[in-house]
Chains A and B, each alone.
Chain A
Amino acid sequence: MDFYLNLINTIGIHTMLGLSAYLLLQTGQLSLAQAGFFAVGSYTAAILTVIFQWNIIPAVLAAMFLAGFLAFLVGFPALRVKGLTLVVATIAFSEFVRMFFYNLKWRVTRNGEEIGPDGTMGFAEIRYFSDNGWSNLEVTFFLWTFVIIVMGIVWWSDNSRSGAVLRAVGEDELAASSVGINLTVIKVSAMTAGGFIAGLSGGLYAHQVTSLDHHSFTVLLGTFAIAYPILGGLSNVFGTLVAVIFIQGLLVEGLRFLGDWRMILFGLLIVLAMNFKPLGLFDKHTIGIIKRVIRV
């Protein structure tokens, strides 16, 4: 049971991570900075609950705001660089954040025990849930409440004018500005929103895994973040969810018995998927088919 709950939690967190990149990808900004915002969210929330003994909800929300604010700051210089330079710049940003936390040492003694981030040794003992008697099921419900809220917000965006505006910017910036869309406002907003969501999921992640290691926050995580919406298709929230379930559920956990081969299979599947379905598994074409099938 615990194994499945863990898996469900991971799926929830990665779905939020994917959605944080989703909004950005819609505006045409290929950003691998999500891992950086995720890391900021993780460490901030963990520091608040462990060192400052905050309650989990304000801690996670504070982490969300901090990451969002950081994303807001990043959003402006990001406007000046286009396309692949942005990819490299955001990779560099994420790496910088990771290295920052890799070097962060903030130890505090409480009840005779040393706690807090310990530089290269990582940040262990994030025991909020166990210290406060949360059952695993309660943790899952708590986490997924946030996931559902975030999914709801992004779904609303997709179906409102905001979603159309985001995608208009992603499709043709010149045309978008010619119909009155303020590109700066939209692109920075998308980056900020992405930062909020990534920070939120990071804060939850820290408490779910109870210990943080800089290896979790590499460029690999950033690539996962954009892989989900790309594979799932940029026109539908559920595409991202399915992509997460598929990748995390099947490949990472379900194929554990394949041992080390599962990563090879993973790489292979991505290459094949991109060759056959370059617009994602859930592009408009496939959704059209699914709609027709359901109607029948």
Chain B
Amino acid sequence: MLKIKSISKHFGGVKALNGLDLEVGEGDIFGIIGPNGSGKSTLINVICGIYRPTKGDVTFHGQTLSGKPTHQRLKTGIARTFQNIRLFPNLTVWQNLWVARNSVEDIKTESSFYRWFGKSIIVKKEIEEMLEFSNLENRADELASSLAFGEQRRLELARAVATKPRLLLLDEPAAGMNKDEIRDLDSRIRSLQLQGITIILIEHVMELVMGVTDRIAVLNFGSKIAEGNPQEIQKNEAVQEAYLGYSEDD
């Protein structure tokens, strides 16, 4: 579904991504791990169109994404969350979800009149579903900035899902979470997979990555050093060296 072909991204002399090749299949939960500075966030930004790659191409369902601005990529079905939560702080929870409601197909079946006056029943129902999904039903009218950290993370996830993506990029969603929250996140991600959404999970928190993903790619210094299922990756020496500086056999 998503093909990353020999992507390089240079920032002046720094090679954040260096000839990276990746393929994510439809319906997968694909993990990307690697030490800090290995290029994980840069990769998300390239996929989303925030950075233009120095070399290489990204294709989505066979179509190249190059030249497409970020909002257009969203329309083709690619959504993301941010490492440092980027909610709209002075908008309410409802409004945060509202602005993301972007699926035009459903709306076209309803009268424009209703839609313009903010009374679209379909939209209302979908936002309510998102609120339920993120356990924020009672908080709809509160400002996003007044939410607790965990609630903010759930809202950001819901906001991305509200755009009805086919591919969802999660940028370190478990950062700062406790064990219960991680378990909760794990089940949310699985339920999203059941809805047919392909997920790329960039993460440091190993228990989440190893537990929920189907395949994992490991990055170091902008290149892929390993790829496989969670068991294979855990045993991989190159991975151990990258993270720990040594492998089990040393």
Contact = CB atoms under 8 A, between A and B. Distances in A.
Interface of A: 156, 159-161, 164-165, 167-168, 171-172, 174-183, 235, 284
Contacts of A181: 71, 99
Contacts of A175: 82, 86-88
Contacts of A164: 91, 95, 98-99
Contacts of B82: 175, 178
- Of residues A168, A180, A181, A284, which shows the largest number of chain B Cβ atoms within 10 Å of its Cβ? A180
A176 B102 CA distance: 12
A178 B88 contact: no
A243 to B, nearest CB: 19
A177 B86 contact: no
Interface of B: 48, 50, 69-72, 74-75, 79-80, 82, 86-91, 95-96, 98-102, 116-118, 123, 143, 159-160, 163
- Of residues A160, A178, A183, which shows the largest number of chain B Cβ atoms within 10 Å of its Cβ? A178
A161 B118 contact: yes
Contacts of A167: 88, 90-91, 95
Contact of A179 (B72, B89, B159): B159
B104 to A, nearest CB: 10
- Of residues B69, B100, B117, B160, which shows the largest number of chain A Cβ atoms within 10 Å of its Cβ? B100
A133 B100 CA distance: 53
Those 4 A-B pairs whose CB atoms lie nearest each other, nearest first: A180-B74, A175-B86, A179-B100, A177-B70
Contacts of B101: 161
A182 to B, nearest CB: 5
Contacts of B143: 284
A181 B159 CA distance: 13
Nearest to B103: A180
13 contacts: A160-B116, A160-B118, A167-B91, A174-B50, A174-B86, A175-B88, A178-B48, A178-B80, A178-B86, A179-B99, A182-B69, A235-B90, A284-B90
B90 A159 contact: no
B87 A179 contact: no
B117 to A, nearest CB: 7
A281 to B, nearest CB: 16
A157 to B, nearest CB: 10
Nearest to A174: B86
Contacts of A165: 99
B91 A171 contact: yes
B71 A177 contact: yes
Contacts of B89: 171
B88 A172 contact: yes
Contacts of B123: 161
Contacts of B163: 179-180
A141 to B, nearest CB: 27
- Of residues B89, B98, B99, B116, which shows the largest number of chain A Cβ atoms within 10 Å of its Cβ? B99
